[in-house]
């Protein structure tokens, strides 16, 4: 396997490490593990395909992409990816990122709920979208080394993630029926994805 798991999961910069600290403080353990798995899938795919990407931006977006479902950041009307993007923009301001880079972070997080992100438009947004689609719904699993999938999920167990995330997404859908969360809730992809993962890691 081309990766040492400790090295794969390590934040690439000091700012990325602070983003992880923020996620550890505000996200549930299940969502935190999902966020780290999503980073691992995104990085592994990009490296395997020889894609150029901004590691600090991608890690920070992965760490914070679901912070909008955490109660302190859950906006009543705003879609959770929009609320998460706004919270991440504030984080990036505190980290001293310039305005353009703060907007990029917000875009990557908001776009992870798109059906598809064109890599020529936004490579980090594309990588986070395909990585979260893999982790939530098992989409495109054949693009990753099966040994890597098993090793990362052994380090970061899925445990109660599917049930917790499905509950959160259904709550989002009920309150925000025009949101991407509503589309996801009605698709049944979270439950289907968990069944896919059970077959992938056994």
Q: Is residue 38 part of a domain?
A: yes
For residue 3, pLDDT over 90 is answered with no
CB 88 within 8 A of CB 72: no
Phi, psi of 154 (to 5 degrees): -70, -40
- Residues 186-198 have pLDDT tens digits of 999 999 999 999 9
CB 120 within 8 A of CB 111: no
Mean pLDDT of the chain: 96
Phi, psi of 186 (to 5 degrees): -80, -15
Give CA 181 to chain center in angstroms: 14
Q: Is residue 6 part of a domain?
A: no
Q: Is residue 1 part of a domain?
A: no
Answer yes or no: pTM beyond 0.75.
Answer: yes
Q: Is residue 5 part of a domain?
A: no
For residue 51, pLDDT over 90 is answered with yes
Q: Is residue 7 part of a domain?
A: no
pLDDT band for position 2 (cuts 50, 70, 90): low
**CATH at residue 46:** 1.10.3210
pLDDT given for residue 133 in this prediction: 98
Instruction: Give kind and range of the element (H or E) at residue 91.
Output: helix 80-94
| Number of domains present in the structure of the chain | 1
CB 105 within 8 A of CB 124: no
Q: Is residue 148 part of a domain?
A: yes
pLDDT band for position 9 (cuts 50, 70, 90): very high
Q: Is residue 3 part of a domain?
A: no
pLDDT given for residue 56 in this prediction: 98
Q: Which domain holds residue 132?
A: 14-201
pLDDT given for residue 202 in this prediction: 81
Q: Is residue 66 part of a domain?
A: yes
Q: What is the arithmetic mean of pLDDT over 125-141?
A: 98
CA distance 138 to 198: 10
- Residues 57-102 have pLDDT tens digits of 999 999 999 999 999 999 999 999 999 999 999 999 999 999 999 9
Other C-beta atoms closer than 10 Å to the C-beta of 123 total 19
Q: Which one-letter DSSP state was computed for residue 54?
A: -
């Amino acid at each position: 396997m081309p990766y040492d798991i400790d090295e794969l999961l390590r934040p690439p910069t000091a700012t990325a490490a602070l983003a992880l600290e923020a996620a550890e403080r505000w996200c549930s353990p299940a969502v935190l593990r999902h966020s780290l798995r999503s980073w691992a899938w995104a990085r592994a795919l990009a490296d395997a395909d020889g894609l150029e990407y901004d590691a600090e931006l991608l890690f920070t977006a992965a760490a914070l992409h679901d912070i909008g479902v955490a109660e302190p950041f859950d906006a009543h009307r705003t879609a959770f990816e929009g609320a998460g993007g706004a919270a991440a923009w504030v984080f990036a301001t505190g980290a001293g990122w310039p305005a353009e880079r703060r907007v990029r972070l917000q875009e990557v997080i908001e776009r992870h709920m798109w059906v598809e992100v064109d890599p020529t438009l936004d490579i980090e947004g594309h990588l986070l979208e395909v990585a979260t689609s893999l982790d939530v719904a098992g989409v495109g699993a054949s693009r990753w080394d099966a040994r890597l999938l098993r090793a990362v999920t052994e380090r970061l167990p899925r445990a109660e993630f599917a049930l917790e995330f499905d509950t959160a997404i259904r709550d989002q859908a009920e309150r925000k029926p025009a949101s991407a969360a509503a589309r996801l809730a009605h698709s049944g992809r979270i439950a289907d994805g968990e069944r896919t993962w059970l077959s992938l890691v056994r």
